[in-house]
Structures are given as structure tokens and as C-alpha cells.
Amino acid sequence: MADFVKRQQFIKDLNQFFADEKVLAVIDRYRGTSGGGTVFVQQGGSYKPGETTTVPQLVVAIEHWTRIARLLDQKKDVSLELNVANTFYDDDPMQYDTIAEIPGTDKKDELVMLGAHLDSWHAGTGATDNGAGTIVMMEAMRILKALDIHPRRTIRIGLWSGEEEGLLGSQGYVQNHFGARPPMDDPGMKGMPTLLRREAGEVTVKPEQAKVSAYFNVDNGSGKIRGIHLQENEAVAPIFDAWMKPFKDLGMTTLTMRNTGGTDHLSFDAVGIPGFQFIQDPIEYETRTHHSNMDVYDRLQPDDLKQISVIVAGFVYDAAMRDQMLPRKPIEKALPREAEKKDE
Ligand SMILES: [Zn+2]
């Protein structure tokens, strides 16, 4: 937590330093070594109105970066021509979640949820992060609707915004519907959701929290489902093992107790709702498409996406029809705040 605020502060200070020094632009190189025209690029500073950076920042391919470095090494002048035309849109700072549902029957006040995030980074179109997750979840809903199954529990899909800035859309939704931690007074946390900040205090749950059996998420690219993370909820292992059996010949064979992080199931997990992320074939997610200019349509694997949709539809169906809701694990206790820690 303290690290998070410190890191934000450092980025602010660095951008202020660039502005004070009247730097024309900051040129960075991409992370990783895949090369071949792939450029990974994220943000250069705060997205908040009034805090946005004024110095243009660019990311170039490693081959171009090292060429500049070699020329500078030889004390040669380097001249670059830049054409940067960016705009911050401050008129509507809101982002919107998209929600839809198939109503249940005898247990219609109970929910099974599935979701993915709609937002992405600007260098590509976000086909694998997370267009892939979004379309498989929509397809799972379409399959269930087309089969006209009349589920016992209501099935609700959530397509979240603001995931890339810190799971903001799903945290906001969960805070409004299921439970929240108190706000934090640290200036770096002003107006930010605190659900995932255990230092903020204990979770207070709302009545609806007791009515959600499970939340399923897909956000690891275009590759096939190979299993599911149990998120340290051991009691669901035999249940998922049975649900997984029909999909063994499609390549889904692994249950792991492990926690996996980084995406929207964490918002549900934080308030004690069983939230799960599937294990996917990584293909080239980390090496090529994740937050890069190669995150485009051509990098999607249509057959793998069909496999994912079918498995998600199966798991959601099983959860919606089961006599009981899924077993839960306890909500994580609050952590002491930094100041209190020092006193100990
Ligand atoms: Zn993502």
C-alpha cells in the first residue's frame, strides 16, 4: 500500500521534473525482448483531471532506441521529428459498466455472475486484453439464452470499465451492491475504491452479498482454458472437479489451489463472494499482445475462443442449477495501517 502511494508520488515528481526542465518530450523503449515491431506501451502518469502530465511521452521499438543510443555514444547529434496529437477529455470523467441478465426461476433472487473488462490500452485495439474475455462471456450468455434453459438462479454478466487503472469498474460495482471497506484519507487514495486495500479497514457486507453463488472471470488472452484457479477455496475443488470432467477432452484438466491476481475476480473475492479466474493457454499473451501494438484482431484464436465460451457456459449453468450455493472462504481481515505497524 505504502509502496503504491510512493510509486504514484514518484511518477508525479518525475513528470514535474521533466516539466520544470522544459523537456520537449520523453522517449522510452518497450519492456521485454520479443522485438519484431512489437511495442508495449501503457500510461505515463495520472489520468485524473488536473493531474495529467503535460510533457509528451513516446515509446519506440528497441531497434530504434539502441540506434539512438549508439549515435549518442559516438557523440553524434540525433534529431527526431515527432508528431504527437493527444487530447485529455475531461468533460465526462465517468466510465460505465455494462450489465445484463437471464432471469432465474425458483431461486431467482440468487445470482451467478460472469464477466470480463471492456477497457484496453491505446497502442492496439485490445483484441486479446480484453476483447477476448468480453466476447467469450457474451457468447456464453448467447449459448445459455439460445438453449432456453430457464436457470434456477439468475445469471448476470458484468462487462467492467476501468480495469486497467486498478479494477475500478468491478470494485465500484461490488462496493455499490455487495460490500466495501472504509474510504482512506491518504491524499493518494482520494476518491479511489478501497476494496482491495486491506489497510483501509474491515469489509462491511450488504444483504445482496449473501445471494451471489459465484463470479467467473476471463482475462488472460485468447488461449484455451486449461483449468481453473480455486483461489485457495479448497471446498470447491470436488465440485469443480465434477464440472470439469465433461471438458477433459477439450483440454481442461487442471485445478490449482493457487490465488491468481491482477483482474476483476479480486473485487468479488475481497467481499467473500467466490470469485474465479480460469487458467488459459498463454500462447503469446505475455510475449506479444498484452498491452502492445500487436493486441489486434489478427492475434485472436477463434477455435480457442469457442472452447472458452463452451466451458464458461457449462460452469455458469452448473452453478445456476446446483441445489446449494458454492461454499465460501472467510473474508480477509483488515491489515494494520502503516503508522500503527511502526508502533508495534
Ligand atoms: Zn486485462
Residue type for position 218: V
Residue type for position 185: D
Cα–ligand 1 centroid distance for 131 (angstroms):
9
Q: Show me where the domains of the chain are located.
A: 9-73, 98-321
Surrounding residues of ion ligand 1, Cβ less than 5 A = 129-130, 219
Burial class (CB in 10 A: 0-12, 13-18, 19+), 90: exposed
Q: Which of 318, 283, 314 is nearest to 301 (CA)?
A: 283
Element at 238 (helix H, strand E): helix 237-244
What whole-number distance in Å separates Cα of residue 187 and Cα of residue 52? 16
Cβ–Cβ < 8 Å for 117, 130: yes
**H helix and E strand count, the chain:** 8, 11
Residue type for position 81: E
What integer pLDDT is reported at residue 95 of this predicted model?
Answer: 87
Question: What is the fold, at CATH topology level, of the domain defined by 98-321?
Answer: Aminopeptidase (3.40.630)
Q: Which of 48, 166, 169 is nearest to 117 (CA)?
A: 169
Mean per-residue pLDDT pooled into runs of 10, the chain (344 residues): 75 88 89 74 80 84 90 96 87 91 98 97 95 98 97 98 95 97 85 90 97 98 97 97 98 95 96 97 92 95 98 98 98 79 46
Peptide bond into 130 cis (omega under 30): yes
What integer pLDDT is reported at residue 171 of this predicted model?
Answer: 97
Cα–ligand 1 centroid distance for 327 (angstroms):
27
Cα–ligand 1 centroid distance for 65 (angstroms):
27
- Provide the grid cell at 72: 549518442
Q: Where are the alpha helices (DSSP H) in 153-212?
A: 168-177
pTM of the model: 0.92
What integer pLDDT is reported at residue 31 of this predicted model?
Answer: 67
Strands 225-229 and 254-256: parallel
Residue type for position 94: M
What whole-number distance in Å separates Cα of residue 260 and Cα of residue 239? 19
Cα–ligand 1 centroid distance for 226 (angstroms):
18
